[in-house]
Copies of this chain bind each other. A is one copy, B any other.
Amino acid sequence: MSQFVFFNPTRIVFGNAVINKLEKEIKKLGFHKPLLVIGKGSVKRNQIFEKVVSQLEKLNLKWEIFEGIAPNPYDKKIEEGAQKAREKGVDSIIALGGGSVMDAAKLIALNTVEKGKIWDYAGSFQKKGKKPEKALPVITIPTVAATGSEANPSAVLSNPETKEKTSISGLALYPKLALVDPELTLSVSLATTIDGIIDIFCHVSETYFSTELKTPIPDGFTEIIAKTILENGKKLIDNNFDIEARTQVSWASTTAMAGFLGGREGGWPMHAIEHQISGFYPHISHGQGLAAILIPLLEWNIHHHGLGKIKIFIKNVFGQDIHTGESAMKVFHQMLCGLNAAVSLKTLGVKENDLPIITENILKLKGNKENKLLNIVPMAYDDILSVLKKAF
């Protein structure tokens, strides 16, 4: 194991019906005037919004609302939210929604205090991004099991002008509290649920394949999370309202990104590559983009590095003994087929002509000083482009 730090100051309250603890938790945190951040209104179509608002009303405090966060939140929307937060003099943020809403809320919390252009925090190898230092306290209430944003220090931000996506991280972005109530995810469509499962799968497997170091505990934890989401994903395809299955997937989602899997360095660049796909094509969901590149990247890495830990991963997660790259890819392909998520960039609507500029964006935002992308074998421009072409 390499040296690493585990630090996660977010208080995570998990379990069915924990949404009802919001009132008590707000009292404990001493919020006087929160800004409730939501998406485009889906929480209003079920009882979730009401459950939150009724507790805010009981507290007899002033609160404000900022609505309309769309998937892939972008800089102007964040700055608009922060502007409102300052104008209304709120002292805290409550995020009620999926990954985009939670990411937006964390960035609004930051931008409210530090002002300025939120895109200035975007880093790259050419330019060091601003470091988040101070933010309003945030409560996250996830309605989708996917990004793990509810209890981590990161937020993804899009720039519609340049079609780039970036990830902003810093201790200041840790939510104070995450209320993770699996029942809230019952309202989510099967497509979004599966996107979430693929996202979680990539979160945990990215770092697993990153090294040859002996790391039995984080590796074992990874295998458990992967097995759990795949088993329960199948159950949700049969019955999208299986609360038992949703509970396991919700905890997997939070756990995957809460720092419990530390001890391995680096990682496959699944997210680094995908962010610039859905950044360029906002109609593509993050989960779809990941599904499209998973096997091409696997193939590239097997070709350049060998099977490495993939063999043991497949043994422990899928119960299959494999000996060739071909059979490894087959296992992953079957997994995607089983989740109804075997897609290509072409079927997702990507134009082949755009692959070079997407590749440039990937290196611009995530390349190192040698203009290569972090991977078990670092990837240059042509390598990345070849993976994208394979994924097309």
A371: interface (CB < 8 Å): no
Q: Can you report 13 residue pairs joining A to B where beta carbons are below 8 Å apart?
A: A1-B15, A1-B247, A3-B13, A3-B15, A4-B13, A5-B12, A217-B224, A217-B248, A217-B251, A217-B255, A220-B223, A220-B227, A255-B260
CA distance A73 to B1 in the complex (A): 33
Q: Which chain A residues in 1-56 approach chain B with CB under 8 Å?
A: 1-9, 11-18
CB closest chain-B residue, reference A216: B228
CB closest chain-B residue, reference A171: B11
Smallest distance from the beta carbon of A3 to chain B beta carbons, Å? 3
A8 engages B8 (CB within 8 Å): yes
CB closest chain-B residue, reference A180: B6
The quantity of this chain's copies bound in the complex is 2
Q: Enumerate chain B residues within 8 angstroms of A62, measured Cβ to Cβ.
A: none
A233: interface (CB < 8 Å): no
Q: Which chain A residues in 238-264 approach chain B with CB under 8 Å?
A: 244, 247-248, 251-252, 255, 258, 260, 262-263
Q: Enumerate chain B residues within 8 angstroms of A216, measured Cβ to Cβ.
A: 224, 227-228, 231, 248
Q: Enumerate chain B residues within 8 angstroms of A227, measured Cβ to Cβ.
A: 216, 220
A225 engages B214 (CB within 8 Å): no
Contact of A244 among B13, B214, B217, B221 (CB under 8 A): B214
B217 engages A14 (CB within 8 Å): no
Contact of A252 among B4, B14, B217, B247 (CB under 8 A): B217
Q: Which chain A residues in 164-222 approach chain B with CB under 8 Å?
A: 214, 216-217, 220-221
CA distance A197 to B262 in the complex (A): 21
Interface residues of A (CB under 8 A from B): 1-9, 11-18, 214, 216-217, 220-221, 223-225, 227-228, 231, 244, 247-248, 251-252, 255, 258, 260, 262-263
CA distance A147 to B252 in the complex (A): 26
B214 engages A220 (CB within 8 Å): no
CB closest chain-B residue, reference A178: B6
CB closest chain-B residue, reference A13: B5
Contact of A15 among B4, B16, B252 (CB under 8 A): B4
CA distance A260 to B5 in the complex (A): 15
Also in contact, A228 and B224, with CB within 8 A (given A1-B14, A3-B15, A5-B14): no
Smallest distance from the beta carbon of A22 to chain B beta carbons, Å? 14
CA distance A225 to B216 in the complex (A): 9
Q: Enumerate chain B residues within 8 angstroms of A15, measured Cβ to Cβ.
A: 1-4
Contact of A14 among B13, B225, B228, B262 (CB under 8 A): B262
B3 engages A7 (CB within 8 Å): no
Contact of A5 among B1, B11, B231, B263 (CB under 8 A): B11
**Most-contacted residue by chain B among A9, A17, A251, A252 (CB, 10 A):** A251
CB closest chain-B residue, reference A9: B9
CA distance A7 to B244 in the complex (A): 23
Q: Enumerate chain B residues within 8 angstroms of A17, measured Cβ to Cβ.
A: 3
Q: Enumerate chain B residues within 8 angstroms of A14, measured Cβ to Cβ.
A: 1, 3-6, 262-263
CA distance A249 to B25 in the complex (A): 37
